[in-house]
Amino acid sequence: MNTRRAVVEIDKLWSVFHSRGVDTVVHQDLSLRIAAGELLSVVGGSGSGKTVLLRQLLGLETPARGRVTVLGADASRMGRAGAASRVGMLFQHGALFSAFSVLDNIAFPLRELKTLPADLVRDAAMVKLRMVGLEASAAHKMPADLSGGMVKRAALARALIMDPPLLLLDEPTAGLDPGSADAFCALLKSLHQELNLTVVMVTHDLDTLLALSTRIAVVADKHIVAEGTAAQVMAQPHPFIQAYFWGERGQRARALLHDSSKAG
């Protein structure tokens, strides 16, 4: 049993959306605990509400029932001023401001606080730029001039600018070629360890899942149907798990898991 303090606690969550007089239940009695220092990956089929779950953690969606607690407080507080000091978010496509330079994108959350002098904000942004493996020359480039991998790195630097203890990742390697995806996974793994981050990641990519996760939670049938290490989850008989991990697209995942077990 994991005795480390909980960074995220989700208790009997119901996510319900109303459209044209019809209620759609996305999550029903979903419960999950994420301990400090974990890198937990959330997987599930299309429409299972993986990204909705991230929005719940950010306080951007209000539960119909149940409770979502982040860093000891109700998740609704995450949407308030200074939230970036508690939770960093890496969006699927980076979500950089197209009219801002890379440096200005990274510095944006810190500048919004209006509590630090401009030169100190700039220095902090440059530290984060180098932390994610970008050259100093990238600071004054515009998002349109960046490769996909550079966009992800700049967006990650922005997510980390205020040193949040919790980092949320939405499909972090989506759109990257295999080499760039592997390099970005290596960066995330290194930062997770060096900064003692707690990370919650949504991904459909099996290589990313196995390269990074310390634990996996599977969302299906509107709740968590399995959680644990990759080996523990893959042993479960649920139809989604069998199709996802043991179908044709899971062949490489099985090989990677086998190689990892041998190396350990």
Tokens 């100190």 sit at which residue?
Answer: 120
Q: pLDDT tens for residues 106-142?
A: 999 888 888 889 999 999 999 999 999 999 999 999 9
Nearest CA to 218 among 196, 193, 243?
243
Predicted TM-score (pTM) of the model is 0.89
Is 120 inside any structural domain?
Answer: yes
pLDDT averaged per 10 residues, the chain (length 264): 82 90 91 96 91 90 92 79 74 90 94 88 95 95 94 96 94 92 94 94 91 95 94 92 80 59 55
Nearest CA to 205 among 238, 244, 231?
244
DSSP letter at 249 equals G
Is 148 inside any structural domain?
Answer: yes
Is 218 inside any structural domain?
Answer: no
Is 121 inside any structural domain?
Answer: yes
For residue 123, the enclosing domain spans 93-163
Nearest CA to 191 among 257, 130, 260?
130
pLDDT attached to residue 62: 87
Is 183 inside any structural domain?
Answer: no
Is 15 inside any structural domain?
Answer: no
Is 243 inside any structural domain?
Answer: no
**Number of separate domains in the chain:** 1
DSSP letter at 93 equals T
CA 29/CA 16 separation, integer angstroms:
12
**What are the residues facing 224 on neighbouring strands?**
219
Is 125 inside any structural domain?
Answer: yes
CA 72/CA 52 separation, integer angstroms:
20
Burial (CB < 10 A; 0-12, 13-18, 19+), residue 179, is: exposed
